[in-house]
Structure 1
């Protein structure tokens, strides 16, 4: 009776260890669908922010919104490519948003902003062309400075995020390997004990 109970206990331990091993490997999954959806939402939001910036006629705000739109578009394309590679199907609505943002980014330029400033300023204040040009140049310089800072900040954020992701990935891999090793050791020991029992 004692021998039978011990046999059942060891068999149960082997089954539990195998079950843990299977669960541990199935838990390590990335939700590519959610990443794709989040990137599409960020792109739609960036487009809306850009439209609001254009309506405000604030050159600095327009330029910042344009940079945000470019970043959102790049992220969407990257996420979409991974999603499709994993067997996902893209949504037409999201692809329409991508086409719109591509068109927006292709048609905007600092020259257009400067021309808008010149025309608006001359109509409202009646200032001379030289004064208007100086103001436009000051605004353009300010926009370029802010744009450079935004790009620098964006690049730093991307680098920091990539570094954190790589560390998390390495930590997860190490943890997974250690868990697998411990589970395998338990299974091997339980099977050895079971074999010894029947010798």
Structure 2
């Protein structure tokens, strides 16, 4: 009777463990599916934002939208690869969006941004160009001044270090000479004292 109860208890534990494992796997699969769906939605939104930015003819907005689209595309590809590896099947609609974003991020996007920037450049006045040149000259002068100061500081440090080394060397020489003189005086005195003893 006890053996039967033990067997039934073990069987119950095994069945519970298997059931939990299956639930975990299905939850994981749902998570991968959700991640894939979210990434596809983000890619579609980024494409829409890019199209609106291009329509606005605002170079800064276009560039930001392009960056957003690149990030969304990378995220979609990453999520899709994991989803497929876990046994998921990609949707044709999402793959079409991927193809579109890949085309947008190619030379077409660069061309659109380049054209808008060129158009903006062509309407900048001579005064604005002069201001840009003046600012560049000021920055260059400031950099040169900082560079000259750094060189001057470095040269002063080298000069100070050399002067300090020369002083230490001179002090050492002087100290050695004084020590030698003092020792000679002591030897002479001892010699005289010795001679006086034998007189």
Q: TM-score, normalised by structure 2?
A: 0.53
Deviation string for 1:58-100 (max 9, x for gaps)? 3222211111100111111122222233333322211111111
- Secondary structure of the residue aligned to 1:28 is helix
Are residue 118 (structure 1) and residue 116 (structure 2) matched? no
The answer as to whether partners of 1:118 and 1:132 remain within 8 angstroms in 2 is no
Are residue 131 (structure 1) and residue 132 (structure 2) matched? no
The number of equivalent residue pairs is 127
2:19 to 20, 23, 26: 23
Are residue 93 (structure 1) and residue 96 (structure 2) matched? no
Whole-Å separation in 2 of the counterparts to 1:103 and 1:133:
38
Q: Which residue of 1 aligns with 2:52?
A: 52
Q: Offset of 1:132 from its aligned partner?
A: 9.9
Q: Offset of 1:53 from its aligned partner?
A: 1.9
Q: Offset of 1:22 from its aligned partner?
A: 0.5
Structure 1 residues 129 and 114: alpha-carbon distance in aligned structure 2, compared to 1, 3 A threshold: farther
Moved over 6 A (4+): none
Q: Offset of 1:20 from its aligned partner?
A: 2.0
The answer as to whether partners of 1:118 and 1:133 remain within 8 angstroms in 2 is no
Q: How does 1:46-195 map to 2 (within 5 A)?
A: 46-106=46-106, 107-109=108-110, 110-119=113-122, 122=123, 127-128=125-126, 131=129, 134=132
Whole-Å separation in 1 of the counterparts to 2:131 and 2:101:
30
Task: Mark the runs of 5 or more structure 1 residues left unpaired by the alignment.
Answer: 135-199
- RMSD between aligned residues: 3.0
Whole-Å separation in 1 of the counterparts to 2:62 and 2:127:
23
The higher relative CO (CA closer than 8 Å, separation ≥ 6) is in: 1
